[in-house]
Structure 1
């Protein structure tokens, strides 16, 4: 099998345990395959919250949060499924059909759980506002998520080390 081209972007695991946040980089394969990202997140043992932030190719982001009963996820733009396997996999998992052909390139519509981080200080309406900021890149949107939840320092430090 030929080596697959790496997908530009980053994948970060975020853990909140005992009131402290920790961010670690996930393998780059997590940007290519949803199952790989979910598997990596499930390997993290924590009594607190564990979730993943994936910024893919300056186009869209995914939030993933494994739970014993499955995985909650949010895809920032369903139209990404037309061009990216990981976004198509996310819609498959959500049992949502990809959009036919987006008429308006500036319009984004998220699919999944907008309240995925509500228990960590980011209610659904605020996450919707972040997603609606179409002039921002996914890494900037995820920085806003990190800031709102309170782990922006840890997140910024990690991004500086993986230097997208």
Structure 2
């Protein structure tokens, strides 16, 4: 767990690998860009960064954490829509625990090894990703989170922008 130094910037937890990407659709065009690395460790950091992106279209974040799971974050006026691909990740990762906390869902038991997504499976339905398809992708345990997010990007129509942003990371 990373602790905040009062009055100072939030230190980045260097032990967490992966990527945090903002996805914006403006005037029919998709744009993907990297979020700060702190977004991988702190849900609040991801939401705050995404809220700074002004757009009349869709704005959401895709986080691939430690080759273990992914999180999709979509800010709303009253909070955020959230989806974590593996609820059990909350046992080992603060960001997954934060997602479950905001969703008001109890984390699974320590001995439960079942993988299931938790949150709003309709989070990207308006962008071409129906809940049943998103659930299938989240359940593909033999795929890495970046591969799962790449499938989502392709299905929603921003695969090229997603791949270009990944190459620039």
* Unmatched 5+ stretches in structure 2: none
- The number of residues matched between the two structures is 160
Q: 2-side partners of 1:102 and 1:127: how far apart?
A: 26
Could you say if the C-alpha distance between residues 84 and 4 of structure 1 is closer, same or farther in structure 2, counting changes exceeding 3 Å?
Answer: same
What is the Cα deviation at residue 101 of structure 1?
1.9
Q: What RMSD, in angstroms, separates the aligned Cα atoms of the two structures?
A: 1.3
Does residue 146 of structure 2 align to residue 151 of structure 1? no
The whole-number CA distance in structure 2 between the counterparts of 1:135 and 1:47 is 36
TM-score normalised by L of structure 1: 0.94
Normalised by the length of structure 2, the TM-score is 0.91
Instruction: Classify the secondary structure of the residue corresponding to 2:134.
Output: helix
1:47-91 CA distance string (max 9 Å, x none):
000000000000000000001121001010000000000000110
List, as ranges, runs of 4+ consecutive aligned residues in structure 1 with deviation greater than 6 Å.
none
Matched, 1:78 2:87: yes
Q: In 1, are the aligned partners of 2:12 and 2:38 still within 8 Å (CA)?
A: no
- Partner-residue secondary structure (3-state), 2:110: coil
93-102 or 30-39, larger mean C-alpha shift: 93-102
CA contact (8 A) 1:79 1:102 kept: no
